[in-house]
Amino acid sequence: MAGFRSLARQVRDPRNDLALRRYSLRKCLERFAPYGHRATWDHLCSRAGFDPEDRSPEPARLTAALDELEEARAVWLAYETQFAERRRKEKHDGLRRPGTVDDWHRLTWGGFGVAWCDDPMVHPSEPLAEVLNRLIAALEREPGTACPVCTGTALRWEHDLAHEPSSGPVCTHCGIVVPRPVLTPASLAGAWRARVLVSA
């Protein structure tokens, strides 16, 4: 299975035909896609200015989309390296952390679905790297009461998400599943109360 970097080279290589370059970019999203594959694709296409269904977008637009993705990936991998290093030190010092942060990291290691958007058409519109920086800042401070990306406070618990964990608090404004460790117990409870109840 080709890695992210070799796929990225395929996207940039002008000797490849456009269909292969586009396909390689989509394959990159199987390795790294903060919103999940479909939502991240939708996001990159709209930012770079081509239609998600366009089979032969302008090469410059394709590489612009790849640039954005790579920048975000660099932000996330740097954070993971730092996180792993900190954990190693804490273990060495015999410190224990609440399980939720570690549990969350286990599910998102590598950056796939860190800000899962279950509806591929509803996702934040800021550059991906900026979104990840906001998410990281939230993971590194005390839990709060708002969405770490758009600061919206209308959170609603949703079930049957197409990603693990399969249920969680969703920001009704920007569409991300908010990582549980960044929310206070009261906010989590509020999102739960706002869940959509299906009558029997």
> In this structure, are residues 65 and 44 in contact, taking their beta carbons and an 8 Å threshold?
yes
| Shortest Cβ 66–Zn ion spacing (Å) | 25
Q: Which is nearer to Zn ion, 16 or 153 (CB)?
A: 153
Q: Which is nearer to Zn ion, 57 or 169 (CB)?
A: 169
Q: Which is nearer to Zn ion, 61 or 173 (CB)?
A: 173
Is residue 75 near Zn ion by the rule CB under 5 A?
Answer: no
Q: Among candidates 164, 101, 165, which has minimal Cα distance to 136?
A: 101
Q: Which is nearer to Zn ion, 111 or 169 (CB)?
A: 169
Among 2, 18, 107, 150, contact with Zn ion (rule: CB under 5 A): 150
Q: Residue 132: enclosing H or E segment and its boundaries?
A: helix 128-139
What is the β-pairing status of strands 168-171 and 155-158?
antiparallel
Among 28, 75, 117, 171, contact with Zn ion (rule: CB under 5 A): 171
Ordered DSSP codes for 72-101: HHHHHHHHHHHHHHHHHHHHHTT----HHH
Among 114, 174, 177, 183, contact with Zn ion (rule: CB under 5 A): 174
**Considering CB under 5 A, how many residues would be counted as binding Zn ion?**
7
| Shortest Cβ 134–Zn ion spacing (Å) | 10
Backbone angles phi and psi of 56, in degrees to 5: -135, 70
Distance CA 146, CA 176 (A): 12
Q: Which residues are at the interface with Zn ion (CB under 5 A)?
A: 147, 149-150, 152, 171, 173-174
